[in-house]
Amino acid sequence: MFTKLFRSLATIGLVAVASFSVAAQSVSDSYVISAKAGGINYIEGSVAKMSFGRAGQRIGRGESVEVGDRISTAADGRAEVLLNPGSFLRIGGNTAFEFKSTDLENVVIELDRGSAMVELLATRDFKATVVTPKGRIMLVETGIYRIDVAENGDAKLLVWDGLAEVGRSRIQVKKNRGVTIGATISPVEKFDRDDEKDALAVWSKDRGKLVARSTAKLKDKALRETLTNGFAAGRWGMRDAFGLWVYNRRLGYSCFLPFGYGWYSPYGYGFGHSIWWYNLPIIQYQQPTPNIYGTKRRANAAAMEQGAGGGTPPYVKLDNSIRQSQPIRSLYDPTTDRGGAGYTPAPIYIPPPPPPSETGAKTRP
């Protein structure tokens, strides 16, 4: 009798433990954290990838695009591709591109043909470059950009918002201005946005709205656990990007979790939450975690920049520019910010001074 009762209780205990383990795993597996460029976030129609000369194969959501991979769309195809966290490349039908670099500090896209919209978070230190058959375009400020490459290789750039620099002479193209890049670069001219709103432009803005608002739908407990585990494994830190890509398994795509407080997307849509919302251990907000994204110069950035009075995380630099420009704003929003009027975000991390010289540490003269 006693033996049967003991076995029954043991069985119930094992089932309970197993159920708890499955539940815990399902919570922690709800999200995947990344700070890398090159993920296929969303597709419509036929989209193919050709890697290093091999025959093209259809590609799906969540697949990665490495340097040298060529992505092409059929007439009915569209694709949304992740750039540095917070930035997107969206391409229309009959378009082909490949990455020349996925370095977060300067993502380089070679656009061979077709049409692309770029929704970009940027500073001078974190920008994007688009290489067309007849010229190079540097996107150096946060904004919305449209680039079309014709069959003869001529390219048209329209700056909906932001600032671009074109060609070797770095001709500046500002908001509501455009140029054509052919054998020569045409004079900068003003354009009317309403005349340029085709299906790709409308789709890009709709996707921008959907993805931005998805950030507010992230679950506190599940994401906090994922962030903490990811930090412990060295997968992210606050000194190498503007935020993180958070893949939501339920939605089937990634949204942007900003490091800055109260940010809006380049299209003007609020993210709702930032990483400060999740009340992580303070070390995760402050501790530098260099050289975790494969960038070339960040390995010793903290030590190298101290002597020059630098060491400011990229998101702080972006936040400073946000406060002075549109469409992104860094204002309090009582409908989304934690705690209402009484909530105060955690302080921005300020790097400590360099160690004494007798330790052997070196500073920039």
- Give DSSP secondary structure letters for 188-244: PEE--GGGG--HHHHHHHHHHHHHHHHGGGS-HHHHHHHHHHHHHTT---TTSSSEE
**At residue 155, does pLDDT exceed 70?**
yes
Q: Is residue 22 part of a domain?
A: no
Same-domain status, 239 and 103: no
State whether 114 and 250 are in the same domain.
no
Nearest to 102 by CA among 93, 113, 110: 110
Q: Which of 208, 212, 203 is nearest to 255 (CA)?
A: 212
Model pLDDT for residues 229-246, shown as the tens digit of each residue: 999 888 888 888 999 999
Q: Is the pLDDT of residue 192 over 60?
A: yes
CATH number of the domain residue 86 falls in: 2.60.120.1440
Range of the domain at 120: 38-204
At which of 146, 177, 204 does a domain end? 204
43 Cβ contact partners less than 8 Å away, ≥ 6 residues apart: 59, 60, 61, 77, 78, 79, 80
Exposed / middle / buried, residue 32 (Cβ in 10 Å: 0-12, 13-18, 19+):
middle
Query: Per-residue pLDDT for 23 more than 60?
Result: no
Q: Are residues 80 and 146 in the same domain?
A: yes
Single out the residue in 149, 174, 204 at which a domain terminates: 204
The answer on 218 and 200 residing in a single domain is no
Say if residue 216 is in the same domain as residue 351: yes
Asked if residue 96 lies in contact with residue 113, where contact means CB atoms within 8 angstroms, the answer is: yes
Taking Cα atoms as reference points, which of 55, 160, 165, 84 lies closest to residue 116? 160
What's the chain's Rg over C-alpha atoms? 23
Pick 361 or 205 by higher pLDDT: 205
Give residue 126's pLDDT.
87
pLDDT at 98: 95
- Show the tokens assigned to 195: 């005349």
Reported pTM: 0.77
Evaluate whether 275 touches 244 at the Cβ level (below 8 Å).
Answer: yes
Which range, of 73-87, 110-124, 319-333, averages the lowest pLDDT?
A: 319-333
Residue 55 has a pLDDT of 63
Are residues 146 and 240 located together in one domain of the fold? no
| Structural domain count of the chain | 2
Residue 356 contacts by C-beta under 8 Å, 6 or more apart in sequence?
none
Do both 248 and 175 map to the same domain? no
What does the pLDDT look like over 257-313, one tens digit per residue? 999 988 999 999 999 889 999 989 988 887 554 444 444 334 334 333 333 334 788
- 290 prior amide bond cis, ω within 30: no
Q: Are residues 162 and 243 in the same domain?
A: no
